Amino acid sequence: MNQQPLKINIQSEIGKLNAVLLHSPGAEVENMTPRNAQRALYSDILNLSIAQREYEQLYGVLGKVAQIYDVKTLLQKVLDNPQERAALIGKICVSEEVTDYYEALMAMNSKDLARVLIEGLPARINTLTAYLQNEYYALAPLYNFYFTRDSSVTIGNSALICRMANKVRMRESLIMEAIYKGSGMFECDIINSHEFQPNSRDIFMEGGDILIAREDILLIGNGVRTSTQGIDLLVERMCRSNFEGKRHVIVQQLPATPESFIHLDMVFTLLDKDKCMVFEPLILGDNQYQTVHMTIDNGKVTKIKSVANIPSVLRRLGMDLEPIVCGGQADDWDQEREQWHSGANFFAFAPGKVLSYARNIHTLNELANKGFEIIPAWDVINGKADITGDKLCVVTIDGSELPRGGGGARCMTMPLSRNAVEW
């Protein structure tokens, strides 16, 4: 992998994708039991072989349009460097209170160490304390790591290392920081949220809540995974940047329940320069959840005010987006069912070209009515369908198992480089 470092560059949600970071679900997913599923943030346990077959479709399509970087491969590269290895293992052992495993971890070869950092490290039951803790793992498996979107966020030429809302996912952020800093594969500034008020439990944010609508517009969800204090930290960093002119942060409050509302990208995603996907009851309907518009000018927050909804304020800022309704407009029941299965969670690999689950048929019918061609992923992978050119399309992947983890195509993808969009 002797190549020039990739310069991180993400200025939108829809620009043509050049490079993306992925992690295929592996044994860590199978290391889950019904007893620990809820603690792992899952609503159910997955059939790994089926989940991998579904993920193969996502990976195969993206491999046709962009360069793929693999988390485990990059992590192994980090661990090959003695200094980077010591720094990462030290941070993990301290944060997860397993310092007595430090020497054993450091003694592993890089391949095995990368595996156990993701798949889990069984505990040594050789003390009364260890026995009474009734924990099988010293380092728990990273069940959620195939959702690469959440633990870091690429914004412009920077990588934001997120402070996750749940401790079970904190190691993901530490690994991502090590990859951006120590793999030698990326050129980017790093914003480490762990370094700001490190003892504060109020600062947390996740990538599913952070959308780049345009170079000067950030959309952020405020809910159980991203706090107001976490958003204030991001705004403070934006104020310190050298961006000329005004910048805008649009914050959407999210319900604490149901769990399918964990992130903004579960109720709102961008599809094209003039289209977005919305869960209508929350984004367009009358409800108690505020939409707040913050204006930054010359490095200072100059205005904060409530607005009607995300599309209305984007329209005033020059982005006139047609909302397409998740689940279709005919039935509230269909909207709720399909939102639950990530029906609003789309990933654009080019303007008007998106990835989604095939199961959400009412959402797909809405898109078909708006001119999108529905194309099965295998047709793209096997060369039966052409996704180049200007036509609008939705490439669909099977989704019987992957959605059980609580996310869709956007959740499973971390874009690293996109072309600029001609607005």
Domain residue limits, the chain: 6-418
Give percent of the chain above pLDDT 70.
Answer: 95
Q: What is the pLDDT of residues 117-154, one digit of tens each?
A: 999 999 988 778 777 777 788 999 998 899 999 999 99
Mean pLDDT, rounded, of the chain: 92
Model-wide pTM > 0.75: yes
Residue 2: exposure state from Cβ atoms within 10 A (0-12, 13-18, ≥19): exposed
Range of lowest pLDDT (6-10, 37-41, 163-167, 390-394)? 37-41
144: number of Cβ within 10 Å: 25
300: number of Cβ within 10 Å: 8
Q: What is the pLDDT of residues 239-277, one digit of tens each?
A: 887 777 899 999 999 999 888 899 999 999 999 999 999
Residue 237, pLDDT above cutoff 50: yes
Range of lowest pLDDT (26-35, 130-139, 323-332)? 26-35
Q: What is the pLDDT of residues 294-315, one digit of tens each?
A: 999 988 999 999 999 999 999 9
pLDDT confidence of residue 35: 56
Residue 42, pLDDT above cutoff 60: no
Query: Hey, is 140 helix, strand or coil?
Result: coil
Residue 173, pLDDT above cutoff 50: yes
Give every CB contact of residue 62 below 8 A, 6+ residues apart in sequence: 17, 20, 22, 68, 349, 355, 413
The answer to whether the CB of 340 falls within 8 A of the CB of 260 is yes
Q: Residue 41's pLDDT band (boundaries 50, 70, 90)?
A: very low
Residue 204, pLDDT above cutoff 60: yes
The CA distance from 408 to 423, in Å, is 27
Mean pLDDT of 3-11: 94
Residue 39, pLDDT above cutoff 90: no
Token pair, residue 213, equals 């609508």
Give percent of the chain above pLDDT 90.
Answer: 77
Residue 291, pLDDT above cutoff 60: yes
Q: Residue 177's pLDDT band (boundaries 50, 70, 90)?
A: very high
- Say which CATH topology domain 6-418 has: L-arginine/glycine Amidinotransferase; Chain A (3.75.10)
pLDDT confidence of residue 260: 81
Buried b (16+ CB within 10 A) or exposed e, 68-103: bbebbebbbbbbbbeebbebbbebbbeebebeebee
pLDDT confidence of residue 345: 97
The closest of 133, 132, 171, 134 to 151, measured between CA atoms, is 171
Q: What is the pLDDT of residues 381-395, one digit of tens each?
A: 999 999 999 999 999
Q: From its phi and psi, is residue 97 left (phi > 0), alpha (psi between -120 and 50) or beta? A: left
Higher pLDDT, 125 or 376: 376
Query: In the 8-state DSSP scheme, what is residue 76?
Result: H
pLDDT confidence of residue 104: 97
Residue 1, pLDDT above cutoff 70: no
